[in-house]
Amino acid sequence: MTNREWKTFWLAKASDEVERINLSQALSWFHYAIVNKFLTENPGNPKAIAVERVLAFVAAQQNDVRRPIILFYEKVARSDKHLAALTARPAIRPAAPHPATIANQEPRETETASILKKLDLELKARNYSRRTVENYRAISYNYLTWLKKPPSASDAGAIKQYQLHLKEKKNYAPRTVNLATAAIIFLYNSVLEIPVAPTSLPRMKTGRPLPLVYSQQDIEKIILGAKNHKHRLMLTLAYACGLRLSELRFLKPEHIDLERNIVWIRHGKGAKDRGVMLDQAIKPEVLAFLKSGKGKTFLFEGYEPGHSLTPTTISKIYQHACENAGIEPLGGIHTLRHSFATHLLEHGTDLRYIQELLGHASSKTTEIYTHVSSTAISRIRSPIAHLNLGIGK
């Protein structure tokens, strides 16, 4: 995995653990910003990070961050080696900084923590998804750290500089920079109550690449490439119902309506519910899996009962199935959703129904599949067909 994928994976696990054991008292210890900073400065698998580097990170911070890092290795990464080092001996502190540095840093860190707390409250009051909360929180923390001063009404120029910083220094994709811009605008307008007009900040051109899709023959090979019955059913439902990864991950047994032949997607993207068809072709497989009792809280659980599979695990299941089928992946597991929509269109399904099945808020989002339908394109004759070139004679 890339460093960014490692970071996303472990932050997601941390959030899952906080919610699972309801760490209301530990939220102050398990400060998201601290863990985010730790994983940013120490990329890769946290279990493979040298103990000395972990201790050096703890020692280098002005505030005591030992407790959240201990909690991270105790509850999430679960590394006895790192846990022992963190609890057995104190980290060696570097030379004391100049008093003026401490005076400047500590109030700013306190102010940043206060702003992030307000941001959390505002996002949750609006019922934003957990993923949006995590993204906005991380973006806001990184921006405020970069800004190095209290936010003010004259920061439009600074925000533009930060956009360039993300693009040129961090090599972020235009879409990611635009997401960061939206989060920062929300921070100023809705949390800090400092007016920042969205029109005053540029949006980077992203283009609109067409989604890649598999042929139906390749879909068949990929599904059969999953040797485990549970894994095969996961890929089957991802394609047969056009599910997003998160929707597949949090699917529950009670969401399967066997009488009406519907799979209910609860709290999908945008916190919207929708129903998709449970086709008769796969209903026996789903029924057999439900009767096996393997999934209790979630339909597809990991080794620990009651825990959904992680995004990384689901992605690996898909990648291994592609490898077993001898097919080069065209993208992540979301490609099965793209293929679902394109194949429906090629079989004559009305675009409005496809929009509902995919849960798209706008028909414009769904219309992109009209550009990748090979059946429609192949039926169009080129004007060269009307020329008498003597080809083939």
Tokens read off for 108: 């700013």
Claim to verify: residue 78 and residue 6 sit in the same structural domain: yes
Claim to verify: residue 49 and residue 198 sit in the same structural domain: no
pLDDT for residue 29 is more than 50: no
In a domain, residue 393? The reply is no
Mean pLDDT of 155-162: 91
Q: What is the pLDDT of residue 148?
A: 85
Tokens read off for 270: 């945008």
The number of helices, as runs of H, and strands, as runs of E, in the chain is: 18, 3
d(CA 222, CA 82): 39
- Split at pLDDT 50, 70, 90, the class of 126 is confident
d(CA 147, CA 327): 46
Torsion of CA 63, 64, 66, 69, to 10 degrees: -40
pLDDT for residue 197 is more than 80: yes
Assign 301 to helix, strand or coil: strand
CATH number reported for the structural domain that contains residue 160 in this entry? 1.10.150.130
Active-site positions? 244, 269, 334, 337, 360, 369
Tokens read off for 15: 């959030």
Claim to verify: residue 231 and residue 361 sit in the same structural domain: yes
d(CA 183, CA 330): 30
Contact between residue 125 and residue 119 where contact means Cβ atoms under 8 Å apart: no
Q: What is the pLDDT of residue 236?
A: 93
Report in angstroms the alpha-carbon separations of 255 from 206, 263, 269, 296. Answer: 36, 6, 16, 12
Q: How many domains does the chain have?
A: 3
In a domain, residue 385? The reply is no
Claim to verify: residue 244 and residue 372 sit in the same structural domain: yes
> What's the gap between Cα 8 and its chain centre?
7
Between β-strands 256-257 and 274-277, what pairing exists: parallel, antiparallel or unpaired? unpaired
Burial class (CB in 10 A: 0-12, 13-18, 19+), 265: buried
Claim to verify: residue 283 and residue 182 sit in the same structural domain: no
* 242 CB-near residues (< 8 Å, 6+ apart): 276, 337, 340, 341, 357, 358
Choose one of 166, 189, 207: the last residue of a domain: 207
Mean pLDDT of 217-240: 92
In a domain, residue 391? The reply is no
pLDDT for residue 175 is more than 50: yes
d(CA 224, CA 321): 8
Question: How much of the chain, in percent, has pLDDT values that exceed 90?
Answer: 20
Burial class (CB in 10 A: 0-12, 13-18, 19+), 168: exposed
* 306 CB-near residues (< 8 Å, 6+ apart): 20, 296, 297, 298
Claim to verify: residue 302 and residue 263 sit in the same structural domain: yes
- Domain residues for 366? 216-378
In a domain, residue 121? The reply is yes
> What's the gap between Cα 218 and its chain centre?
26
In a domain, residue 389? The reply is no
d(CA 31, CA 69): 9
CATH number reported for the structural domain that contains residue 329 in this entry? 1.10.443.10
Q: What's the longest Cα–Cα distance across the chain?
A: 90
Claim to verify: residue 127 and residue 64 sit in the same structural domain: no
Which H or E run contains 187? none
Claim to verify: residue 43 and residue 145 sit in the same structural domain: no
In a domain, residue 236? The reply is yes
> What's the gap between Cα 363 and its chain centre?
23
Q: H-type helices in 21-79, by residue range?
A: 32-41, 51-60, 66-75
Claim to verify: residue 200 and residue 172 sit in the same structural domain: yes
Q: Provide the 10 A C-beta neighbour count for residue 32.
A: 20
Claim to verify: residue 349 and residue 228 sit in the same structural domain: yes
- Strands in 91-183 per DSSP E: none
Choose one of 51, 72, 95: the last residue of a domain: 95
In a domain, residue 194? The reply is yes
Claim to verify: residue 292 and residue 346 sit in the same structural domain: yes
Q: Which of 4-8, 214-218, 302-306, 381-385 has the lowest mean pLDDT?
A: 381-385
- Give 141's Cβ-side CA count (13 Å radius): 21
In the chain, the amino acid numbered 8 is T
pLDDT for residue 49 is more than 50: yes
pLDDT for residue 393 is more than 70: no
Contact between residue 218 and residue 327 where contact means Cβ atoms under 8 Å apart: yes
Q: Quick one: DSSP state of residue 89?
A: S
- Split at pLDDT 50, 70, 90, the class of 15 is low
Tokens read off for 385: 């067909």
- Split at pLDDT 50, 70, 90, the class of 91 is very low
Contact between residue 43 and residue 6 where contact means Cβ atoms under 8 Å apart: yes
Q: What is the pLDDT of residue 378?
A: 62
Choose one of 167, 183, 207: the last residue of a domain: 207
Claim to verify: residue 260 and residue 345 sit in the same structural domain: yes
Segment 64-77, tens digit of pLDDT: 677 778 888 887 88
In a domain, residue 56? The reply is yes
Point out which residues pair with 265 in neighbouring strands.
274
Torsion of CA 214, 219, 222, 224, to 10 degrees: -170
Assign 274 to helix, strand or coil: strand
